[in-house]
Structure 1
């Protein structure tokens, strides 16, 4: 993901164009691309602010969110389940294809972690709240 120009530069470019110069002249004066100056002026005109828009995907989405209770119940009922087994069960019962790594990251964000059992295997357990 790219980075944004500073708000200071954005304000100076917008003010330069507002003072009567063209977008292309502003681009040459401030050493930015012409498309940046044109889009900045359009954004300032439409929103009233030259501030950049939020970057990235909006939070809270994802295809596993509707199946959170199923995943948590399955892991709590069978703590030693592997991620490929969990992915197969999710596909079998709900028809959702999910990579094991994605399931692991999802469960880690929900407070689960790997704990080693005395027999040398790994068990997924709920992390303590605190």
Structure 2
């Protein structure tokens, strides 16, 4: 998965949409997909921010319940 695009780019894209420019022409002008333009605009209207949501999440260690057994076997 790639890193999110900069907030500066996102803000400029949303400003262009709010100024009345169609999403397709904004996408072409800034070199991003139309779906990104739409999603960023929706995020701005819903939250007032264009910042990306947190990526990833907490992943519980799979082997933790077996730690003692594994350490004992290594010894």
The question of a shared fold, defined as TM-score above 0.5 by the shorter chain, is answered with yes
Alignment gaps of 5+ in structure 1: 82-121, 124-130
Alpha-carbon distance in 2 for matches of 1:15, 1:79:
57
Higher helix fraction (1 or 2): 2
Q: CA RMSD in A?
A: 2.5
Tell me which residue corresponds to 1:5: 5
Unaligned runs of 5+ in 2: none
Q: Deviations over 1:101-130 (max 9, x none)?
A: xxxxxxxxxxxxxxxxxxxxx42xxxxxxx
Give per-residue Cα distances to partners, 1:72-100, cap 9 Å, x unaligned.
Answer: 5xx27x8532xxxxxxxxxxxxxxxxxxx
Larger Rg: 1
1:46-81 alpha-carbon deviations (Å, 9 max, x no partner): 12111111111x22x42748x64xx35xx27x8532
Structure holding more strand per residue: 1
Task: List structure 1 runs of 4+ shifted beyond 4 angstroms.
Answer: none
**Number of aligned positions between the proteins:** 75
The match for 1:80 is 72
Task: Calculate the TM-score normalised by the size of structure 2.
Answer: 0.79
Distance 2:35 2:71 in 1: 54
Match of 2:43 in 1: 43
